[in-house]
Each structure stands twice: as structure tokens, then as C-alpha cells.
Structure 1
Amino acid sequence: MIKHSRTFFAMRNALVTGLVTILNFPIQFINRYYMVHYLGIVYLGLTSLFTNILSVLSLADLGLGTSIVFLLYKPLSERNFKKIAVIMKLYRNIYYVIAIVIFLIGLGILPFLKYLVGRNINYPHIYILFIIYLTGSATSYLFSYNQSLLYADQKNHIVAWTNLVVTYIMLTLQVITVLLFKNPLLYAFLFVFSSFVTNIIVTVFVNHIYHLSQYNNGVLNREEIYLLKKNVVGNMFLRISGVIVTGTDNIFLSSFAGVVSVGLYSNYLTITNVLQRIMTQVISAVTGSIGNFITQNKSLRSKRLFFNLQFINFILVSMISLGIYLLSNDVITLWLGDKYIISKLNVFLISMSFYFMNYRMIGWNFISVYGLARYMKIFSINEMIANVLFTLVFLCVFRLKLTGILLGTIVSTLLTVTWQDPYVIFHHAFNSNIIEYMKKYFYNFFILIVEIICLEYMSNLLRALCSSTVLHFFLLSFFIVIVSILVPYLFYIRSFEVKYFNSILTKVLRRS
């Protein structure tokens, strides 16, 4: 019964969050179309730059959120609401402080903003625009902790549907304001406060479901405080590393290539971020189930679950990466026009960066639910240093601009966390070595190469047979889905991963 319940929640969360993200997909592209054509590429570059700057400021979180969520799995499984209330009160108080810290640090950046933007950019209300983004970023922390409780309790669907409704309403208002007023400040205000509105509504749901306010007393015990401190330290370095690796690209690009280049790159990031969100939400939907599973099973079965989920993760990440590589320029052409296209080499590097970063996604989930972040300190530092070092070499020595930034991310990932993350998981969670993992890692990469060769041939053939970009896009999309599922399936035909995959498909079909 417990196994059935866990599977049911995982499937429901994966299906709902995936569906919601897909429903969010078209309106974001429509909204960005109007933003580019009515507010301009410079505004696009500025907002992308500000988003990157504020992602660096989010280091004030220092991994506290992830560490506290780890403490929720056990009391949720035991329905110990008194303990849950204690943890959530601590969570709330910490995030209030973080909101204040982010806002104050952001104000301190204002005098230096012109150096990050570039002195040749003369855009009106640039400081007010930054303050709007800063305020939105700070206020997003005021109630966001309640989402984490729902995620830990496998109630992702509540957050997903709430976010969908709010996003549709707010983005519709954005499009209307762009058409009527062409006011970048009003547009920015509506954009940055969408998450705040979502958090308010989710908070109402949490209060209604859990009634935590009636549990006013209680403190964490010594063991819980010790675990929290250890995980905070580990997550702090993971957080810093993640921000440095992914959150500074536009800052580097603005400094070395200009705000317009940031704008062009951000169009592709819009595509990858939507796809990233789909993948993250589908995979994260099973995180609560992983936490439930490991409390009831030994490391051998947990390792088998890891490889089963890694196989599904590989199919998904390879499918999306292939789509990014082969379809992004079609999307940009149909969406904004061919003058916004970047080189095919850079599109390929964007897709490979997506693949290498997101191949690790299942590992991140296991590190989270096992509370292994405390072992990640030195590895996170290695990734951070390698990324900055290689990026600067490619930018300053070889002057490769966007190509250099993408190569810096790929090279640093391959040399560090590609093997460091699984080492921590297999050594500390599964009491095993990583040889089996690395064999499958290279095996899967070989499968990806086979898929690229097949689909590159199909793409060229379709391009020769049909002159319509729309027709090429839909036909190639179909082949990408088929190839990215069929090829791995054939290469793993007799494995326990395929048996698990078949069982998941069977359950989905029975429920449909």
C-alpha cells in the first residue's frame, strides 16, 4: 500500500507539473515577442543582466532552504505537525532576514551599476528599473518557504496549478501594458511581483491544510541542529558554486561583448529555461518519493532506484538537448525573426551545456534527500574556481565571447562535478564505488552521439525536402522524440532500467 501511494504521488506530481509547464510555454513566448518588438533589444539585455546580478545576490540564501527542507521528510512521514511547525517557523524567520540582506546589498550595488551595464548604454530610468527588480527579488523570500513544505509533502500539484493561473493573469497584463503604454517600468513591476503573488496564495493553502499556527511551542533537538549546521555548510558551497557557474554568464558577456549580445543570448535562454523548468519539475516531482523510499529501504535498493531514475533522466535530458541543438534556430526565426539567430556552433554548445549540467539532476535530488551536502564543500569550490578560470581564459586570451562562456561552463563541469557528485552519492549513500556509474555515463554519451548523427542526417534531409520552416520544425520534433526514446531503449533492451521504464509506462497507460 505504501509503495502504491508513493508511486501514485510521484506520477501525479510529474504529470501535473509537466502539463502546467507546457501550458505556460506559449504565453511566455508571446509575452517576450511583444517585449522585444515594443521595448527593444537593449531593454531585453538589461533585464537579463539584472536577473543575473540578482541571482548572485540570492547567495544570501546560502543553501539554508534546502537544508531545512531535509529536516521535513521524517516529521512529514510521521505526521508530526508540532515538529513541522517548529521547522517552518525557523525557516520563515531565516528567510525574512535574507530578504532584508538581499535588499540592502542590492542598494549597495547601485553606484557600480554603470560599470556592469557599460557606459555607452544610455537607457532611461535604468536605476529605477534595477530597484524594481531588486525589490521583487527580495520580497519573493517573504512567503516562499511555504512552497517547500508542499514539495516535501508531495503536494507539488498545488504549487503548479497556482503558479499557472498567476502566470497567465500577470503575463496577460504585461502584454496589455506593453501594447497600451510601452512602459518598461510597469512591465517590469508586473513581471517581478508574479512570484510574490504566487507565494501569498500558496501560503493561504498551507495555512488551510496544516493549521501550523496552533503549534506555538517547541525547539529543534541537538541532533537536528547538528545536522542542520552540517548541511548548511555543504549547501552553502553548493549554492555559491551554482550561482558562479550559471549566474554570472550575462555579467561576463555584458562586460566583454555588450548588452545587445546579452539580449540575443537571453532569447535562447528563454527556450532552455522553459525546457529546464519542465525537466526540473518532472524530476523534482519524485524527490519527495525518493525521501520516502530511502527511509524504508536499504542502500542496495536505493542504488537500483537511482539507476532506474537516471535512465529516465537521460532519455529526458538527451531529448531536450537534441531539441535545443536542432530546433532552436527554427524557433527563433518563427518567433522573433532570423536577425536574432546566433551561430550553429554556439547553439550546439548551449545544448551540450544543458546536457552536462542536467545529466546530474537525479544526483542533486539524492544528495538533497540523503543530506549529503556537507560532503560537497571542496567539490563545489573546485567547480567554481574552474568555471571562472576557464571562462576568463576563453574570454581574455582567445576572445571567444559567447563561445568562450559556454566552453568555460562545459569544460569546468566535465573536469569537476561530473565525477565528484556521483562519488559522494555512491560512497556515502550506497556504500559503493562509482565505476558502474561512470561506465553508464560514457555509455550514455555514446548513445547521445549516435542520436546526434541520426538526427543531423534527418534534419538535413528534411531541409532539402521541405522549404517551410514550420513543417521542418514539426517533422523534426517528431523524429527527435522517437529517436531519443527508441535508441536508448534498444541499447538497454535487457536491463533492469528498461523493465522499470516499462512498468512506469504501464501504470501511466492504465490510469489514462
Structure 2
Amino acid sequence: MSRIEFAKKNITYGYIGTVLNLILKFVSRTVFIYALGATYLGVNGLYTNILSVLSFAELGIGTAMNYSLYKPIAEGDKEKIKSLMNLYKTAYRWIAGIVAILGLAIIPFLQFVIKDPGNISNTELVLYYLIFLFNTVTSYFVSYKYSLANAEQKNYIQTNIRTVSTVMVVLTQIVVLLFLQNFLIYLLVGAFIELLEKVYANFYLNKKYPMLLEKNVRELESQEVEPIKTNIKALIFHKIGEISVYQSDNIVISSFINITVVGLVSNYNLLISSVTQLINIIFNSLISSFGNLIATESIEKQLRLFKVYRFVAFWIFGFSSIAFITLLSPFVELWIGSEMVINQMVIYLIIIDFYARGHRIVVNNFKIAAGVFDADKYVAIVQAVVNLVISIILVQYIGLVGIYVGTVIQGLIATGIKPFIVYKNVFNQSVKEYYVDSAVYLIIMALTLLLIEVIKSQLLSTVNWVNFVSLVVVVTVVVNAIFFILLRKRSEFKYLKNIILKKEGASN
């Protein structure tokens, strides 16, 4: 099966699963808000972030190991694959133990990061947290096995198993919310079903890859382990940066404002992350294909496909950013009430970061596929420091806006530096063209947004479902029409047109 065929299969199953999951989660969130309220929603979001912080213990081992598997899989080197997977298994068992110990050690400090928990007792907060911790720790005993399927460009295996599990979890939890309105039972049924999923996944992957159970596994030699260690050392820095930036906002909000605001923000994050999941199916499904591309094709072809990849990212993230800025607050007001709407300036900042991340996902995914981890490791630390310092200082003066100012500033640092690193280390070319394209894309998006804002002021003078749906249609048509008119002559657009019309070979 070619790279394009694998990508199509991964994307197709990814969309089916994600759309189904998002519909159910949206329904579940709506029921959750009315059944339990914003405070419990804030606890749910906060604990998710705390456990994501504890994933620091993973140290980027998964990313390094996935990269290490691309070449032996392409060459059919079964013995090397077995050795790598055995190393991976040992590492993840250690990680599970470390996360469990660190997770338990945090319990005495929970009361200091949860401000104004309402009528939720400290005992309840600890019990809820332990369930979250159990879910996280048990995941490490099976997640490493998915790396073999993913490195073979068969991401759809993990997608399909997760889809079935998520559907079962969400449907069961909705029933609990409707009839029992009990957060503890809500968490317990989810944890039980997810445990069954892990048991099944372990059985299925062992059967599909019997080599995982073979005992005659040679130990990797020092020269084989050394590049993995080098990548892991670099990825430690990336992991610190990632956690400090994207898992700390809710903790800062809970500590300096209150836990209820975490719940309000989480509604917006649900909508944005839902769309992001749909978008990322396209981009993340291609990482393993790019790994194969880089291992087998010329730099010229790699650069050509990178530009196409990035062009698609601009179109999708540019359109989504304009739609979010225009539609998020009206939708939240219609969905769950005007009291759940947050400051529009906060939304602007969140979407600026969303747009910048859209460009970074292209750079980061190509960098991961190429195994370039060491060159920008200190950038991640700079991002982390800038984000935390600015957010903690400004939240005390301008509240929620200050937290997201820090998020935007750190993101712009990475958005400016990482393309230079990729062009230098992967393509061995000047990055000037990338920055020029960035400016062109930004100008197109800004002008389009101005036009949409003018249209919005006319169409949405009164917030109701009829006006909102009309605005959705207008935004969709106008934004994409403008993008088409202004970008249709670019080589990237022509390449995609040829792919769609099947003028390019399927092996691309």
C-alpha cells in the first residue's frame, strides 16, 4: 500500500471516529453542565491538566522510539524491531511507576491549586483525582504497542479501538448524568470501560504482532541505543516546554482566579479542541508517511510536499480561525446561556495562538518525521519560562487576559524560530521563502477577517439561531471563496488539484 493510500485510510477512519466521538462528547458536555454545573466541569478540566503535567515522566520516549522504528520497518528488519519494542516496553513500565509515585505525592497539594471548590469536599476531590491517576497509569502498559502499528502507517488501528471505547464511555456516562447526577459514578464507569479497552488492545496487538511475545530478543548494542538516548535527552526539553505551555493555563486559572472559570474556559476549549481534532487527523495521519518519505526520497521532493502540507494548513487553520473569532461566543450564548460567555479579548488571544499552532504543527510534524529533536531543544525551555512568568505576573493585574497574553507570546517565539531549524537541518536551504509566505498568508487572513466582521455586524445584530446559521453559511462561503480567488494560482494549489484529479502517481 502506498503512502497516499495509507494516509487516505488513516484520515477516513480518523474522521469517522472523531466525528462520532465529538457529537457524543458535545451531547455529554451539555448534559454535564445542566446536571452537575461549572464547578465540577472545572475539576474535570483541572485534573486532566494535572495528569498531563505528570506525563512529563514519559520524557518524549514515545516520539523517539517511533522515529527509530521507521527505518527497520521500511527495511523489514524484524530482529531490530523486536529489540526496539522490548526496550520500549521496559521504559514504559518504569514510566508507569514514576507517574504513579509522583501522582500520589501531589495529593497533599491539591487543596492549594483548587480555589473556591464550592460544596465539593477535600475527600471527594482526592477520590476523583485518584480515578484520573489510575486511568493515566494503566494506559502506559499498552500504549507503547500502538507505536509499531503507527510506524507501519496503520494509525487507523488505534483510532478504531479508541472510537469504540469512547462511544461506550460517553453513552454510559450520559445515562449516569441523566439518572444519577453523580460525578463519582460518572468517573468510575468511564475508568472501568477504558480498562476493558486496554485489556482488549493488549490482546489484539499481541495477536497481530506475535513478535511482541517472542522471548529470543537480542539486546540493542550501544551504538544502536546512543542515537535514541540523544533524541530522548533533547525531547526532555521539548516535553518540559509543551507541558509548561499547554497544560499550565488551567492550573494558573484555578490557583489565581477560581475553579469555576476553568469550567467556563473549558467550554470554549472543548469547541476549539473538537475542531482541532478533526483538523489534526489530516496532519498527524501523515507523520509516519513523511517518515517513510524522508527515509526514501530526495530533499527536493521532501521540500515540495512540505510546502503543499503547509499550504493546506494555512487554508484550514486560517478559515477555522476566522470562523472561531466570529462564531464562538454567539454559539456558546445560544448553547448554554450568556452567563457562560467569556471576554472577547480572551477569545482573540486564544485564536491567535490557535492560528500560530496551525503553522507550527506542519513544522513540528515534519521535524519529528525527520528525527530533528536536538536543534531546538532550548527553544522549548524559553517558551516555558516566558509563558509561566508572563502569565503569573499579568493574571494578577488583568486577570484571564494576562494568562493568554503569555500563551501567545511564547507561541510566537516558536513560530519564528522552528521553521529556520527545519529548513537548515532537513532541507539545507534558506528559510526566507517560508517567512515571505507567512506574511502573505497573514495579510490574506487579516483582510478576510475584517470583511467578515463587517458582515457579522449586519447579520448578527440580534443573537438567535436563524441569524447564527445564516452567519455560518456566509463565513463558510465568503472565506473559502476569497482564499480560492487569491491562492488558486500557487503551485501548491495546482499540485493538490492534480492529486484530486488523479494526475499524480499514487506512490506520491
1:404 partner letter: G
Distance between the aligned counterparts of 1:26 and 1:453, measured in 2? 31
CA contact (8 A) 1:245 1:388 kept: yes
1:250 aligns with 2:247: no
1:461 CA drift (Å)? 2.7
Give how far 1:343 is off.
2.1
Contact persistence 1:489–1:498 (CA under 8 A)? no
Among residues 72, 76, 89, which one is paired with 2:69 in the alignment? 72
Query: In the alignment, which residue of structure 2 is the partner of 1:36?
Result: 33
Say whether the 8 Å CA contact 2:350–2:408 is kept in structure 1.
Answer: no
Q: Which runs of 5+ in 2 are unaligned?
A: none
2:40 counterpart of 1:46:
no
Aligned twin of 2:495: 500
Instruction: Please state if 1:482 is matched with 2:465.
Output: no
1:105 aligns with 102
Question: Within 5 Å, which residues of 2 pair with 1:78-157?
Answer: 78-118=75-115, 121-124=118-121, 125-157=124-156
1:61 shift after superposition: 0.6
2:426 paired residue among 424, 429, 438 = 429
**Match of 2:17, as an amino acid?**
V
Q: Report the equivalent of 2:411.
A: 413
Q: 1:429 is paired with a residue of what secondary structure?
A: helix
Q: In 1, distance between residues paired with 2:502 and 2:21? A: 26
1:419 is displaced (CA, Å) by 1.8
Please say which of residues 219-228 and 147-156 is displaced more in the overlay: 219-228
Q: For the structure 1 residues 123 and 382, does the alpha-carbon distance in structure 2 shift closer, same or farther, using more than 3 Å as the test?
A: same
Letter in 1 for 2:490: S
Whole-angstrom CA distance in 1 between matches of 2:147 and 2:371? 16
Residue of structure 2 in register with 1:205 after alignment = 204
Distance 1:103 1:339, change over 3 A: same
Q: Which residue pairs with 2:343 in the alignment?
A: 343
C-alpha distance in 2, partners of 1:197/1:118?
34
Question: What is residue 447 of structure 1 aligned with on the other side?
Answer: 444
Q: Which amino acid aligns with 1:74?
A: K
Distance 2:151 2:463 in 1: 46
Q: Give the aligned partner of residue 320 of structure 1.
A: 320
How far apart, CA to CA, are the structure 2 residues paired with 1:484 and 1:62? 40
Question: Are the structure 2 counterparts of residues 12 and 292 from structure 1 closer, same or farther at C-alpha, using a change threshold of 3 Å?
Answer: same
Cα distance in 2 for partners of 1:148, 1:347 equals: 36
Whole-Å separation in 1 of the counterparts to 2:448 and 2:226? 47
Does the 8 Å contact 1:133/1:189 carry over to 2? no
> 1:478 & 1:201 partners in 2: Cα distance?
43
Q: Distance in 2 between matches of 1:481 and 1:227?
A: 47
Conserved? CA contact 1:53–1:247, under 8 Å: yes
Query: 1:255 & 1:375 partners in 2: Cα distance?
Result: 34
Which whole-Å deviations, capped at 9, do the CAs of 1:24-77 have from their partners, x for residues lacking one? Answer: 121101111121111121111111111111111110011111001101111221
Query: What CA distance in whole angstroms lies between the structure 2 residues aligned with 1:83 and 1:142?
Result: 21
Q: How does 1:208-247 map to 2 (within 5 A)?
A: 208-212=207-211, 213-214=213-214, 216-247=216-247
TM-score, normalised with respect to structure 2: 0.94
What one-letter code is carried by the residue in structure 2 that aligns with 1:99?
A: A
Which aligned runs of 4 or more in structure 1 are off by greater than 6 angstroms?
A: none
Q: Are the aligned partners of 1:326 and 1:459 in contact in 2 as well (CA < 8 Å)?
A: yes
| Matched residues, number | 503
Q: Conserved in 1, the CA contact under 8 Å of 2:370 and 2:426?
A: yes
DSSP-derived class of the 1:448 partner: helix
RMSD (CA atoms)? 2.2
Q: Residue in 2 aligned with 1:385? A: 385
Aligned partners of 1:472, 1:196: CA distance in 2, in Å? 45
Among the aligned pairs, what percent are the same residue? 28
- Alpha-carbon deviation of 1:268? 0.7
Is the contact made by 2:460 and 2:468 (CA closer than 8 Å) also made in structure 1?
Answer: no
* Rounded Cα–Cα distance in structure 2 between residues aligned with 1:119 and 1:333: 25
**What is the correspondence of 1:161-200 to structure 2 with a 5 Å cutoff?**
161-192=160-191, 195-200=194-199
Please state how far the C-alpha of 1:353 moved relative to its aligned partner: 1.6
